[in-house]
Amino acid sequence: MGYTLITGATGGIGKATATLLASEGQNLLLVDIVNPAEFALQIMEEGIAVESLQIDISNLESTQVVTQFVAEKKFTLDGVVHLAGITRDKSMLKMDKSEWDQVIGVNLTGTFNILKVCAPLMKSAGGSIVLTGSTSALFGNFGQINYVASKGGVEAMTKTAARELAAYNIRVNCIIPGFIDTPMTRKMPEERYNAVQQMIPLKRAGQPEDVAELINFLISSKSSYITGTSILIDGGFRM
Ligand SMILES: NC(=O)c1ccc[n+]([C@@H]2O[C@H](COP(=O)([O-])OP(=O)(O)OC[C@H]3O[C@@H](n4cnc5c(N)ncnc54)[C@H](O)[C@@H]3O)[C@@H](O)[C@H]2O)c1
């Protein structure tokens, strides 16, 4: 059986996704800038393999370690869940160039790097790639000009990648999470966090496990006729 590579694997949505896919019997290659080795051991299930690599996906050379690793281990890659992402929030007038560059570097260039490295490894057998946008890019969220630029870009890249990779039977889709309970959103003051929950029709933040279920579907053959699209998972936030 092939492997599914998960970036941002030690983050909130990444951990929930890795845990679900492992319980479904999927072999995994966990990737994060924070070493995912210890987490990999925790989710190991009988009969599956969980490998891990500490990689900075904003750097192409670092990301290319995946190519070497897959060649050495002689396994095939048939799924990619690309979740690694960062925020550096500040209003546009206060934001400095390094905060712009960091977010574009990880979220946008990092997505290019992952596609560039992983697509060739999937060309022979086909598979499914899931990229990650954000409802912030649909709203134009205050204080996130760098983040919305990167996430809007990822949504657009999804369509080009889907067109270019369809010939190899590689599907590419983009999930658009709304407000999910993870370390990324828990950086907010609690009062603000609760206020945002009240703006959501379902009156709660999404759980990482909610997002993992959507990813599990998009990675599986149950979604074999879905490509080049974005799927909102936001409790009605964007309605
Ligand atoms: N939480 C939300 O409400 C929300 C909403 C919309 C979109 N998203 C997106 O979902 C994805 C997952 O977010 P999360 O909430 O789990 O965040 P998180 O902060 O919990 O996890 C992000 C992970 O990415 C990793 N990472 C950061 N920079 C990296 C790099 N250069 N190389 C490799 N790994 C790196 C981090 O170490 C972390 O483990 C992100 O792309 C985020 O933008 C989250």
Domains of the chain with bracketed CATH: 3-233 (3.40.50.720)
What is the structure's pLDDT at 1? 72
**Mean pLDDT of all residues belonging to the chain:** 97
Residue with tokens 């995912």: 36
Is the pLDDT at 223 greater than 90, yes or no?
A: yes
Contacts for 203 with CB less than 8 Å, ≥ 6 apart: 197, 235
Q: What is the pTM of this model?
A: 0.98
Mutate to test the pocket of ligand 1, among 184, 192, 210 (most ligand atoms within 8 A of CB): 184
pLDDT tens for 68-107 read 999 999 999 999 999 999 999 999 999 999 999 999 999 9
Is residue 170 scored above 90 in pLDDT?
yes
Spatial separation of the C-alpha atoms in residues 126 and 209, rounded to whole Å: 26
| Atom 30, ligand 1: residue with shortest CA distance | 56
pLDDT over 90 (residue 50): yes
Q: What is the pLDDT of residues 121-152, one digit of tens each?
A: 999 999 999 999 999 999 999 999 999 999 99
H or E segment to which residue 81 belongs: strand 77-82
Protein residue with least CA distance to atom 26, ligand 1: 84
* Per-residue confidence band for 28, with pLDDT thresholds at 50, 70 and 90: very high
Listed in sequence order, the residues at least 6 apart from 153 whose beta carbon sits closer than 8 Å to its beta carbon are 107, 108, 111
Tokens of 157: 């890249």
Question: Which protein residue has the closest C-alpha to ligand 1 atom 20?
Answer: 11
- Closest atom of ligand 1 to CA, residue 175: 7
Provide mean pLDDT across the span 199-219: 98
28-36: average pLDDT:
98
From 19, 52, 86, the mutation candidate for ligand 1 (largest count of ligand atoms within 8 A of CB) is 86
Pick from 183, 188, 177, 101: nearest CA to 137: 177
pLDDT of residue 45: 85
What's the confidence (pLDDT) of residue 127? Answer: 98
Token representation of residue 95: 């934001």
Q: Tokens 């999930």 — which residue?
A: 175
Q: Is 156 a residue whose pLDDT tops 90?
A: yes
Q: Relative to the CA of 110, which ligand 1 atom is closest?
A: 31
Residue with tokens 């990675």: 219
